[in-house]
Amino acid sequence: MNFVLSPRGAWRPALFALGLLAATAFAETAPVAAPTAILIRNARVFDGLGDALTDGLSVLVVGDKIAKISKDPIVPPEGAVVIDAQGRTLTPGFIDVHMHASAFLPGSISDHASPWQMGVYMAKSLEGFLQRGFTTVRDAGGADGSIADLIDKGYIAGPRLFPSGPALSQTGGHGDNRAPYSAHPYFGRSQELAMSRGLSWLVDGPDEVLRAARENLKNGATQIKILASGGVLSQFDPLHTVQFTPEEIRAAVAAASNWGTYVMAHAYNVKSVRQLLDNGVLQIMHGHLLDEDTIKLAAEKGAVIEFELVWQWSDEVHGKANGLSDVNLAKLHQIKAGMAGYLANLKKYHVLTGFGTDLVGNQEFQNKEFTLRAEYFPPAEVLRQATSQGYAIISLCGPLNKYGKFGTIEEGNQADILLINGDPLKDISILEKPETTLALIMKDGKIFKNLTGRVQ
Ligand SMILES: [Zn+2]
């Protein structure tokens, strides 16, 4: 990952820029005047849990919730909008459990963006996620609660956002994105705690880990992200490196659990993942170099192992153009070599994975993840990963989830609903063209796109 450096406080003008963008973009992207009720008739429903579609269902949305699902005709309430789905597939809105709202451009470009540009780009990036069908995302390093707040208030048309704030990295770790041989932010030019307000803090020792984690929680993080092994897109840390000590990991876990939430950790190799599992971290991001015994151990502990395929594809195809070095590409190939066996073990031990993409730049390829996964998992499983599993993972933040239940089509849930032209259980690659495939996008009962042409 190529972290975007910006000094502490630089986000204030960026947020102002977001406000400016909202003022101009609102007319196009804001939900149509929210009706009190929307009735969708004649839909084939994938509920987020099952294996098949159920034909001929009606779904009534009242306010922001799914009020009723029925095979029998539902009489629309007075003044309701009625949409004839004409047999289209209705699914829950998709959930991406690993994305970075502030990493929308190849690093070499975003390194030079002004905070004003960053804010505007981020708003556009978030709108892109929503228009690809993602009504909920978990930011794995970057955005803080201020961005979630702007979305919740309707200034940005974006998915429901569960931010982590800047990820915690040790000196020389996956989040240490300084230029070669440059000064340390504490010992050199700056007294700031932050390595970067954009994507990572640089912290060493349990005290600094505690302070950074608490700062993130204060700023609206719903979980804490730590970087606990080498990574592909950093320059100085080989994939075999173990990052953070047990004491540092336990400090992050203590800070998170005091707020009723959890720690998610970037880690690839066996040694770092075992150290995480031994010290209270039960959400592993990537884990692509794990052996069978470690995956079995993770499964026994009820851990989540979240993986992604699309960034590997993107880096292979576009990495050179995006400025990836030979060091980065060598690490990419090290990971790709073992993917088939790794995924077979995740399946064998029924590990909860969710659906993550982790694209740093080229986010327009996000939905290719559906197609790439279908080489290893049945389409219904991929859709469960992107809906009900995503909710199961994200809702582990307990009391910090202020949005209720989502990710499945069930009465009482938040009304996050997609209408899809075609049957993704037969051909999931249709989701790669959301501009034509997604006929309706609804979040919290508000319509953000409607191509059905059947509104009465
Ligand atoms: Zn990431």
Residues 309 and 365 in one domain: yes
Residue 167 has pLDDT above 70, yes or no: yes
Please give the average per-residue pLDDT across 210-223, as a whole number: 92
Q: Considering the domain boundaries, does residue 32 fall inside one? A: no
Give just the sign of the alpha carbon dihedral 92, 97, 103, 105.
negative
Residues 385 and 419 in one domain: no
Please give the average per-residue pLDDT across 371-382, as a whole number: 97
Matching residue, tokens 């939900």: 31
Residue 180 has pLDDT above 80, yes or no: no
Which of 288-297, 334-343, 437-446 is least confident? 334-343
Distance between Cα 57 and ligand 1 center (Å):
38
Distance between Cα 29 and ligand 1 center (Å):
27
Give just the sign of the alpha carbon dihedral 129, 133, 138, 144.
positive
pLDDT for position 222 = 97
Residue 456 has pLDDT above 60, yes or no: no
Residue 453 has pLDDT above 50, yes or no: yes
pLDDT for position 121 = 87
Q: Considering the domain boundaries, does residue 30 fall inside one? A: no
Distance between Cα 438 and ligand 1 center (Å):
26
Residues 6+ apart with CB under 8 A from 191: none
Please give the average per-residue pLDDT across 318-347, as a whole number: 90
Residues 256 and 284 in one domain: yes
Residues 369 and 354 in one domain: yes
Distance between Cα 152 and ligand 1 center (Å):
23
Q: Considering the domain boundaries, does residue 57 fall inside one? A: yes
pLDDT for position 189 = 43
CA distance 93 to 438: 11
Residues 306 and 416 in one domain: no
Distance between Cα 228 and ligand 1 center (Å):
12
Residues 208 and 346 in one domain: yes
CA distance 131 to 93: 11
Residues 286 and 318 in one domain: yes
Residues of the domain holding 88: 37-92+409-450
Residues 114 and 63 in one domain: no
What CA dihedral angle connects 66, 46, 441 and 102, to 10 degrees?
110
pLDDT for position 26 = 41
CATH number reported for the structural domain that contains residue 65 in this entry: 2.30.40.10
Q: Please check whether residue 2 is in contact with residue 107, taking contact to mean a CB–CB distance below 8 angstroms.
A: yes
pLDDT for position 9 = 36
Q: Considering the domain boundaries, does residue 106 fall inside one? A: yes
CA distance 161 to 215: 18
CATH number reported for the structural domain that contains residue 367 in this entry: 3.20.20.140
Distance between Cα 387 and ligand 1 center (Å):
20
In one letter, which amino acid is 35? P
What are the residue ranges of helices labelled H in 73-136?
107-110, 115-131
